């Protein structure tokens, strides 16, 4: 019996997908690529094949089932700060030749020195190469959503609406360089989402929960896991039924572990991406070696965590993913870099060159970004607050990376008085400045958690899967926008 697809390396799997199945001659492709990039500083041919599917169930019936399959390439040449980029959904020698004519114009009359190939080496396998779409039967997926609906309604008669969805994708990529270096990755991704509406005494509230990561369906849709997600969504919805208006004003804020790390991702993480700092538009520009947060704050971006949503064995330029310490004990240590910005800033690529698809060019992006553990027991943090807000979950937010100003809406928050967690709050909004808020962190918990695998980050019109996380922490003097001004 011969080797299965799972036994083969990513390079072997992608060779079949892109060359054998497309009558695409590797020798000719490599020759054309070398000619295209002969005067450039850098560049690559990025090949991608992605299969994806989604199932959504709402109000007692299946609402949508979709399946998509795409295949194409992106060809890029870099000359100094300039970039030539062309893409096509047709993988053929003729389409590559047309793209080559467009791309190499950026390096016309330019004499660059081709940057050495990424040191991608051999990274440890971070996730399976099994295709989750093909491995799990259609009936199992549709039945699962019906079971989720039935189970949620059986738990509480106040449940009036259940929305549930599952989705998966299977992305195969191969990256070719002018010097003949090739690298590849196989990236499965699964996600489960559940949202409930409860009604009691004429009041309606919602609660949602989800999970996912890089792996097989069975890892994310087994009975214990999905039942736990239903219970969590119901807990949040019922909590919100008892919520009171949020007091407005400036007060201490306790952030819970895990998903509240999305605030760190937005308010600090984007400002540490290399392109913003090279252009001088980030509030962190030129501050490496300087103190930018309170003591004890260590911020890490780590693309090497097994099975996590934001993990990548290699980035979309072929650089091996890394565990990058960005801020250490309050001191700015590094930026997240792709190859172009790293070269222009005379720094090293960090494995953060990411793109949404073959039709997009790579740029510095986060993977799994989190604040590291502190030493304080979470209960001690809560007990230390005379009056404040305990924010456990966020619905969304926005930040201006030029000045660090942010606004975040809490989907689950509580009033804290005299060291005790009191009533749940409705409409809590956190308003502040990222670096300023980070400088006001006074206590850091020892309960670091990463989110359950639901994050997607947007930048310049591109979305990529990411992870966030943090321990419980206390920040002083954050402006709270609320509806109760008494």
pLDDT attached to residue 324: 98
Residue 13 tokens, joined = 């799997």
Quick check: is 289 in a domain? yes
Task: Looking at the structure, tell me whether residues 445 and 468 fall in a common domain.
Answer: yes
Cα angle: 51, vertex 93, 37; to 5 degrees: 100
- pLDDT over 70 at 119, yes or no: no
- Residue 486 — very low, low, confident or very high, per pLDDT cuts 50/70/90? low
Quick check: is 486 in a domain? no
Task: Looking at the structure, tell me whether residues 280 and 228 fall in a common domain.
Answer: no
- pLDDT over 60 at 5, yes or no: no
Please give the backbone phi and psi of residue 257, each rounded to the nearest 5 degrees, phi first: -80, 160
- pLDDT over 80 at 48, yes or no: yes
CA distances from 314 to 182, 338, 427 (A): 12, 12, 41
Q: How many other C-beta atoms are found inside a 10 Å radius of the C-beta of residue 143? A: 11
- pLDDT over 70 at 122, yes or no: no
Q: What is the CATH number of the domain that holds 95?
A: 3.30.2290.10
Average pLDDT over residues 331-349: 97
For the chain, what is the mean pLDDT? 93
Residue 154 tokens, joined = 């059986």
CA distance 376 to 486: 33
209, 241, 273 - which closes a domain: 241
Share of the chain above pLDDT 90, in %: 84
- pLDDT over 80 at 121, yes or no: no
Task: Looking at the structure, tell me whether residues 232 and 257 fall in a common domain.
Answer: no
- pLDDT over 70 at 485, yes or no: no
Quick check: is 111 in a domain? yes
* Tens-place pLDDT, residues 147-191: 999 999 999 999 999 999 999 999 999 999 999 999 999 999 999
Task: Looking at the structure, tell me whether residues 188 and 266 fall in a common domain.
Answer: no
190, 222, 241 - which closes a domain: 241
Q: Which residues span the domain enclosing 261?
A: 245-481
pLDDT attached to residue 135: 84
Task: Looking at the structure, tell me whether residues 356 and 311 fall in a common domain.
Answer: yes
Task: Looking at the structure, tell me whether residues 223 and 277 fall in a common domain.
Answer: no
Is-above-0.85 flag for pTM?
yes
What does the H/E/C string look like for the chain? CCCCHHHCCHHHHHHHHHHHCCCCCHHHHHHHHHHHCCCCCEEEEEEEEEEEEEEEEECCEEEEEEEEEEEEEEEEEEECCEEEEEEECCCCHHHHHHHHHHHHHHHCCCCCCCCCCCCCCCCCCCCCCCCHHHHCCHHHHHHHHHHHHHHHHHHCCCEEEEEEEEEEEEEEEEEECCCCCEEEEEEEEEEEEEEEEEEECCEEEEEEEEEEECCCCHHHHCHHHHHHHHHHHHHHHHHHHCCEECECEEEEEEECCCCCHHHHHHHHHHHHEHHHHHCCCCCCCCCCCCECCCCCCCEEEECCCCCCCCCCCECCCCCECCEEEEEECCEECCCECCHHHHHHCCCCCCCCEECCCCCCCCEECCCEEEECCCCECHHHHHHCCCEEEEEEEEEEEEEECCCCEEEEEEEEEEEEECCEEEEEEECCEEEEEHHHHHHCEEEEECCCEECCCCEEEEECCEEEEEEEEECCEEEEEEEEECCECC
Task: Looking at the structure, tell me whether residues 254 and 362 fall in a common domain.
Answer: yes
Contact indicator for 479, 250 with CB cutoff of 8 Å:
yes
Task: Looking at the structure, tell me whether residues 101 and 147 fall in a common domain.
Answer: yes
Q: How many other C-beta atoms are found inside a 10 Å radius of the C-beta of residue 85? A: 19
CA distance 283 to 301: 19
Quick check: is 134 in a domain? yes
Task: Looking at the structure, tell me whether residues 154 and 273 fall in a common domain.
Answer: no
Task: Looking at the structure, tell me whether residues 292 and 354 fall in a common domain.
Answer: yes
- Does residue 319 or residue 402 have the better pLDDT? 319
Q: How many other C-beta atoms are found inside a 10 Å radius of the C-beta of residue 308? A: 25
Task: Looking at the structure, tell me whether residues 327 and 349 fall in a common domain.
Answer: yes
Quick check: is 91 in a domain? yes
Share of the chain above pLDDT 70, in %: 97
Average pLDDT over residues 418-444: 94
pLDDT attached to residue 1: 39
Average pLDDT over residues 11-38: 93
The total of structural domains in the chain comes to 2
226, 241, 256 - which closes a domain: 241
Contact indicator for 250, 478 with CB cutoff of 8 Å:
yes
Q: Compute CA 294 distance to the chain's CA centroid, rounded to the nearest angstrom.
A: 25
- Does residue 230 or residue 481 have the better pLDDT? 230
Task: Looking at the structure, tell me whether residues 186 and 320 fall in a common domain.
Answer: no
């Amino acid at each position: 019996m011969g080797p299965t697809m799972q036994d083969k390396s990513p390079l072997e799997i992608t060779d079949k997908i892109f060359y054998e199945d497309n009558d695409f001659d590797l020798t000719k492709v490599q020759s054309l690529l070398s000619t295209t990039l002969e005067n450039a500083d850098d560049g690559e041919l990025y090949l991608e094949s992605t299969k994806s599917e989604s199932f959504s169930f709402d109000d007692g019936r299946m609402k949508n089932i979709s399946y998509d399959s795409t295949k194409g390439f992106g060809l890029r040449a870099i000359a100094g700060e300039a970039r030539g980029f062309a893409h096509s959904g047709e993988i053929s020698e003729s389409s590559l030749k047309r793209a080559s004519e467009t791309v190499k114009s950026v390096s016309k009359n330019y004499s660059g020195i081709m940057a050495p190939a990424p040191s991608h080496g051999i990274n440890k396998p971070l996730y399976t190469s099994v295709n989750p779409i093909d491995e799990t039967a259609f009936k199992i997926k549709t039945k699962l959503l019906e079971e989720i609906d039935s189970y949620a309604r059986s738990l509480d008669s106040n449940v009036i609406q259940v929305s549930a969805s599952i989705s998966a994708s299977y992305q195969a990529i191969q990256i070719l360089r002018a010097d003949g270096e090739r690298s590849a990755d196989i990236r499965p991704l699964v996600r489960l989402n559940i949202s409930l509406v409860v009604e009691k005494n004429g009041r309606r509230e919602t609660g949602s929960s989800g999970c996912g990561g890089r792996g097989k369906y069975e890892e994310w849709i087994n009975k214990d896991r999905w039942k736990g997600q239903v219970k969590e969504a119901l807990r949040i919805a019922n909590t919100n039924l008892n919520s009171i208006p949020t007091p407005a004003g400036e007060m201490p804020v306790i952030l819970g572990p895990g998903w509240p790390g999305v605030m760190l991702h937005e308010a600090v993480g984007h400002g540490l991406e290399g392109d913003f700092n090279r252009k001088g538009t980030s509030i962190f520009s030129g501050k490496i070696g300087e103190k930018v947060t309170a003591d004890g704050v260590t911020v890490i971006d780590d693309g090497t965590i097994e099975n996590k949503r934001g993990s990548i064995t290699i980035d979309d330029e072929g650089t091996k993913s890394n565990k990058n310490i960005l801020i250490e004990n309050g001191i700015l240590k590094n930026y997240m870099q792709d190859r172009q910005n790293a070269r222009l800033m005379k720094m090293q690529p960090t494995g953060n060159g990411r793109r949404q698809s073959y039709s997009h060019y790579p740029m510095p992006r986060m993977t799994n970004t989190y604040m590291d553990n502190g030493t304080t027991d979470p209960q001690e943090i809560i007990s230390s607050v005379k009056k404040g807000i305990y924010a456990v979950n966020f619905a969304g937010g926005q930040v201006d990376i030029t000045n660090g100003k942010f606004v975040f809406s809490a989907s689950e928050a509580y009033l804290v008085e005299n060291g005790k967690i009191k009533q749940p709050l409705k409409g809590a909004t956190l308003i502040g400045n990222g670096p300023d808020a980070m400088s006001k962190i006074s206590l850091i918990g020892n309960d670091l958690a990463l989110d359950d695998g639901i994050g997607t980050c947007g930048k310049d019109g591109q979305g990529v899967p990411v992870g966030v996380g943090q321990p419980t922490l206390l920040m002083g003097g954050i402006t709270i926008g609320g509806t109760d001004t008494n």
